[in-house]
C-alpha cells in the first residue's frame, strides 16, 4: 500500500479553518506576493513539499502544532490540536494521568 502524505490535506483544512486565503498565508510566511498563491497551491496539491522552516512558519500562522501536518490518523491530528491549545501545566497533568492509567507498556 502506498503512503499518501497527510500534509496537503491538513494544510488546506487548517488554512480554511483559519479563514485565510492562499495568497494571504503565503505573504504572512514571507513569500513574494506575486508567487504566494501559486506556491501555497502547490503545497496543498502535494506537488511540492515545504521545507521544515517554511512549514514551521505556516504552523505558527495557522496556530497548529508542527506535528499536526504529519499525523497518520484524524484522531491523532485532533488530539494534537487539543493538546496544542492547553497550557504546559495542564498538558503535564494529562501526561501524568495517562501514565497512571496503565495504558502503556512498562518499558515506555
- What's residue 107's pLDDT? 58
Q: Concatenated DSSP letters for 36-59?
A: HHHHHHHHHHTSS---HHHHHHHH
Give the model's pLDDT for residue 106. 61
The pTM assigned to this predicted structure is 0.85
What pLDDT sits at residue 98? Answer: 87
Give the chain's domains with CATH numbers.
7-100 (1.10.260.40)
Triad 1, 76, 44: Cα angle to 5°: 65
Residue 22 near residue 76 (C-beta atoms within 8 A) = no
Return all residues near 15 (Cβ < 8 A) that are at least 6 apart: 22, 25, 40, 44, 62
Task: Please give the DSSP secondary-structure letter assigned to residue 104.
Answer: S
Query: What is the mean pLDDT, run by run of 10 residues, along the chain of 108 residues?
Result: 86 97 98 96 97 98 97 93 94 90 68
Q: What is the pLDDT of residue 4?
A: 84
Q: Identify the pLDDT of residue 46.
A: 95
As to burial, measured by CB atoms within 10 angstroms (0-12 exposed, 13-18 middle, 19+ buried), residue 37 is: middle
Amino acid at each position: 500500500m502506498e503512503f499518501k502524505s497527510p500534509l496537503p490535506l491538513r494544510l488546506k483544512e487548517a488554512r480554511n479553518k483559519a479563514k485565510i486565503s492562499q495568497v494571504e498565508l503565503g505573504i504572512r510566511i514571507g513569500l513574494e506576493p506575486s508567487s504566494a498563491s501559486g506556491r501555497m497551491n502547490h503545497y496543498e496539491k502535494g506537488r511540492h513539499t515545504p521545507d521544515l522552516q517554511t512549514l514551521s512558519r505556516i504552523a505558527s500562522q495557522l496556530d497548529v502544532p508542527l506535528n499536526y501536518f504529519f499525523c497518520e490518523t484524524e484522531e491523532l491530528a485532533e488530539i494534537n490540536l487539543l493538546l496544542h491549545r492547553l497550557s504546559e501545566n495542564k498538558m503535564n497533568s494529562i501526561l501524568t494521568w495517562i501514565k497512571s492509567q496503565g495504558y502503556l507498556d512498562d518499558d515506555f
